[in-house]
Structure 1
């Protein structure tokens, strides 16, 4: 019985991780197709990035955190479930209606008035998006993770197929827009069929509880959204859609490893650490182990990407994306520091200090916004440099406010992550001094060997403990665990 429960949990975890990976995969498949089929790829991808920026914020409003309430609420009977469906429909219709009315002024302000009907189509698709959010959350609530995985695969496969088909047919940005709209319809219909859908019942008590629960979380999600995406809005507005096309690709590739780490650890970290949340000494030790394990797994990959960004971008998007390559030279090291901070965000939840999380988010967002305003005084290169400096400034308060929730200090975190600085630094110095081969294959091969050797040497000197931690997680039921 115990082994069957372990097997079920393993399958559930695998399904959750795979569903996240399919969503990440969409962002990797479509850009190279777009860059090869669009006549003016940078400008058109910049236009779509602006449209997605507004649409994604509308989707945050349309979902309204009702899915989180559906999972959190324990006594959610048939009437309560139906209430959430109808609330999601009302929220989707309201958000969609407001955005449709604002399409003309928004696109005019962003200097893309020709795409007002494209934004209008994406706005209307917020209705099925909101509906599917409740349906998939109810499926998760009942641990039907395999079904959720099937819905995600069906949706993302539709998105890739429709978008790429229209791109090859010469539809350009409209191909990407139609892909989003049709994928949302596919997700809503498939999730509703799998879950069963609502009845015509409605509970005012559930609606009131949902409003009480969701208002704070939805507010935080809105603030957090713009703290992460304000740079794209400002770049698109003040530098133009062509520049945004280069910047958005670079930023997306910078955060990809962080998303991967969040996918792997985010869904599993809370249940793993929750049983020891009151033992702060053990909890801090486990958290730092996770931070070091994350760095040991991903920092070498980010270093390799950093060294070979020109070859990789030329192969991935075709030559001509020099601005993206330059931006990545600055952003990837920033991404490395963010990667080593991201696991500490769970400290707020483990300690129950979510109010502090909200105010820290407000503080960080305000500092970032000021940095962006300063960045606008120069060109795009200056903007990216200022963004990097702001992230360095926020390093201490971000670690301090989160880690101190469980009694940790900034110096503890710094000692645990300092060895990781040796990997990119040593690799860069060696690559800059001795490796000047312009052939992609030989250059990539040499860089792989270089990063592997430096990473192994760094592990042998300073990172034996996180390596043992990783190996023990990979062999959890081995009789002879690595001491």
Structure 2
């Protein structure tokens, strides 16, 4: 199968899994919001920051080097596999040791046991992580999609059962461990069957070329994760876990389209970029398509969320989450900036410039940390944090796109004009739908959302067909 057909097939399979997994996760979030307290979600948000940050150190950051390098020996893969395992064990031990200190910092004793339990995820993930990377490299997205759907369903059952049984925040913890274990076991089975069986050997000399790439990757991921979650850490310390719960639930709604739609493009784009990294014309073409398609998918969804935040939050989370709705209205526009900036990271990695991503994230983390600390110090509200992030995403985000254009030699004029056009159209459509629904004076949130969705689709579909038809045709010609 050609690279083009592999890429199209990958997008299709990843889209299918994305839709199913998104439905399951939204349903899970909706059910759990009615059984758990905002404080429980706040605790889990802090736990996920610690675990997510630690995962940046898995395998010394060399996993993506497997995708970047087109030729890797079985001996190198074996050494990398055992590096994965050793890193997982070491990280689990470090988190267990640090758990009491983290709990003391936040004044929350429950964090100690929760972190100790969650530390096992590093060892679990390490068992199948390399084979997941190899499946992505070989564009085996059909198998990856099936695994994602199965593990999401399994995790959903576990989360709902333990939440209903009164386990509180442990329902979220057990669900995460279940999904990690099921995914790792399945990828391990497929990897041993289709890729390679690791030998009991570790040759440090064979990995020298991987470490320079991996160290920057490790640094970039760790700094990026801190900058992406410093808001939750600061809110938890300076305002409290309930505020983190409201804020994190708002981000959960925003992240759903980002975490599900972006990987459809980026998961396929990264290995595709890597394969054409020496063909500037093809690289430019694929990158333009990635960003433009992302804008057509994410901007209308996030614009809709912003205008109908109150109705969506009431439907998904129920009563008592009004503060979350206010945050969604603002954070939706922050999400647009994040969505359109993601392909740049994949492009830089494909070019082997992990160092650029590292230094950029240092700059971004510094900007976010200082800004949010000052904002929380003076205003002490989560709403102020949302507006501060919006300002940063507009100002500092423009610098990021300038770097991508410079380093990747990407033509940004067409991308910029396309985004402005899509943004104006979708905001206008969402505003009109809001005015129409308010005029009809429907009271039930579900009916308001359904009517608004129909109005938006009726207006957006003709735009796609009449205005964006050339983009769809250019995609078919690739």
TM-score (norm 2): 0.85
Cα deviation for residue 85 of structure 1 reads 2.7
Q: Is the 8 A contact 1:423 1:454 kept in 2?
A: no
Q: Is the 8 A contact 1:250 1:328 kept in 2?
A: yes
Distance 1:141 1:423 in 2: 37
Computing the radius of gyration over CA atoms, which structure comes out larger, 1 or 2?
1
Partner of 1:403: 405
Partner of 1:480: none
Q: Is the 8 A contact 1:66 1:88 kept in 2?
A: no
DSSP 3-state at the match of 2:201: coil
DSSP 3-state at the match of 1:171: coil
Deviations 1:113-168 (A, max 9, x none): 12311110101231111222123234445665544444434433332222221112
Change (3 A) 1:7 1:296: closer
Partner of 1:257: 257
Change (3 A) 1:239 1:187: same
Q: Is the 8 A contact 2:13 2:141 kept in 1?
A: yes
Cα deviation for residue 450 of structure 1 reads 4.0
Structure ranking higher on relative contact order (CA contacts 8 Å, 6+ apart): 2
Matched, 1:36 2:34: yes
Pick from 172, 175, 179 the counterpart of residue 168 of structure 2: 172
Matches of residues 94-113 of structure 1 in structure 2 within 5 Å? Answer: 94-113=90-109
Distance 1:300 1:150 in 2: 28
What is the alpha-carbon root mean square deviation over aligned residues?
Answer: 3.3
Matches of residues 182-197 of structure 1 in structure 2 within 5 Å? Answer: 182-196=178-192
Change (3 A) 1:467 1:63: farther
Distance 1:321 1:208 in 2: 51
Q: Is the 8 A contact 2:67 2:134 kept in 1?
A: yes
Change (3 A) 1:257 1:9: closer
Q: Is the 8 A contact 2:220 2:357 kept in 1?
A: no
Distance 1:11 1:409 in 2: 27
Aligned pair count reads: 468
Distance 2:187 2:271 in 1: 26
Distance 1:72 1:408 in 2: 19
Distance 1:368 1:468 in 2: 39
Distance 1:409 1:10 in 2: 23
Partner of 2:268: 268
Cα deviation for residue 227 of structure 1 reads 1.5
Partner of 1:443: 448
Distance 2:172 2:298 in 1: 31
Change (3 A) 1:45 1:277: same
Change (3 A) 1:276 1:131: closer
Matched, 1:127 2:129: no
